[in-house]
Amino acid sequence: MTQGYTHHGEYKVVGGKLVVIDLLVADGKIAVSSLNGDFFLEPDEALADLNEALVGLPENVEHQAVRDAVAAGLRGGAVMFGFDADAVARVVRRALGHATSWTDHRWEVIGPQTMPIIENVALDEVIARQVASGERGPSLRIWDWNDSGVVIGSFQSVRNEVDAQAAAEHGIQVIRRISGGGAMFMEAGNCITYSLYLPSSLVDGMSFADSYPFLDAWVMEALASVGVKAHYKPLNDIATDAGKIGGAAQKRLAGGVVLHHVTMSYDIDADKMLQVLRIGREKISDKGIASAVKRVDPLKSQSQLSRADIVSTMIDTFTRRYGASTGAIDAATREAARALAASKFATDAWTARVP
């Protein structure tokens, strides 16, 4: 056999099984494949189908090409339990060095630092750019703020989402973020918000729907440790049996970086929120419930813990799970956020770009 190199990859399917692969690459192509793991596959002979489907694929093969080869090569009637063609594609891409795992990166955790909401929003763009340029490693940042605001999604209409008169009466500003998704009603101490800044290689081949639970598995573990059994409801809602507690949003930027953030209610004034936000019947029509108030069940009532204690548990869980170190927002980064807040996020041109 022509000399080649051994490649090894592993991928744990969210809610599923571990998929492992060992590859021998020769002359720029996969020459030998050994797929293994704790998954289930019927019949036994289908494992040979999967391995044979991978042989001959180029070492720079794209995710979709692997997935299509697996689907085409699997015999009729074969059944994969705990994994699928996407999982095989993901582990192959990892083995070949095109996709990464959490442990391939050196993570930092940036703890809460109180600042205006608009600077928190601007920081997301500033730090994402730093990660894209290599100035900063992949990071988790916990937000904190001492003012009030509604942070709307990149594509939401201001007039359709916010009652301007009620917002003004309550002293609540409107800020548009760079990611999609829905509005975030934010007052000091009423919710927990965090942002992840990560290389796109970590979510290689993943749809938005698949990446949400993958990127937030650590926070589900943290919540479970304080007695809150949370789960994802497609596309981007985080809920428990008692109701919705939060939601996620994401932006995949140029330069190979992903901004992913989550806001979870802690002690929200639901009556005030409904005065300020225009949450219509269409928004909740597919939820099987009659009131938007019932969509939110704060972490305070479910955990009986302080907001600070929950945040501390989240930081501890992320640090332990991914070997993260402590990061910080330096003076230059903070100043860049202030400048961007003034030049972009505080302007009517940006806020009202979708009137």
Domain count, the chain: 2
Tell me, what CATH number does 175's domain have? Answer: 3.30.930.10
DSSP 225-249: HTT---EEETTTEEEETTEEEEEEE
How many CA atoms within 13 Å lie on the side-chain side of 91?
A: 27
- Among residues 99, 131, 153, the one where a domain terminates is 99
Q: Can you tell me the mean pLDDT for 17-33? A: 96
Do 94 and 138 share a domain, yes or no?
no
- pLDDT beyond 60 at 289: no
Please indicate, yes or no, whether residues 139 and 286 belong to a single structural domain of this protein: yes
Q: Which helix (H) or strand (E) holds 122?
A: helix 117-133
Closest CA to 185 of 269, 261, 260: 269
- The pLDDT tens digits for 45-90 are 999 999 999 999 999 999 999 999 999 999 999 999 999 999 999 9
The DSSP code for 138 is S
Query: What's the CA dihedral at 314, 318, 321, 322 to 10 degrees?
Result: 180
Whether residues 128 and 80 fall in one domain: no
- Same domain (yes/no): 189, 230: yes
Residues 90 and 234 in one domain: no
Model confidence at 242, pLDDT cuts 50, 70, 90, reads confident
User: Do 294 and 218 sit in the same domain of this protein?
Assistant: yes
Domain boundary among 83, 99, 115: 99
CA distances from 291 to 138, 262, 295, 298, 346 (A): 39, 23, 7, 15, 33
Distance CA 239, CA 246 (A): 7
Mean pLDDT of the chain: 93
What range does the domain containing 215 cover? 103-351
Domain co-membership, 133 together with 172? yes
CA 49 to chain centre: 33
Do 69 and 187 lie in one domain? The reply is no
**Confidence (pTM):** 0.90
Q: What are phi and psi of 167, to 5 degrees?
A: -60, -45
Do 346 and 264 lie in a common domain?
yes
189: left (phi > 0), else alpha (psi -120 to 50), else beta? left
The domain that holds 46 is classified in CATH as: 3.30.390.50
Question: pLDDT per residue over 293-321, tens digit each?
Answer: 544 568 999 999 999 999 999 999 999 99
Q: Which ranges of 147-251 would DSSP assign to H, the alpha helix?
A: 158-161, 164-169, 208-215, 217-225
- In terms of domains, do 23 and 73 share one? yes
In terms of domains, do 114 and 147 share one? yes
- Last residue within a domain, chosen from 79, 99, 119: 99
**213 and 237 part of one domain:** yes
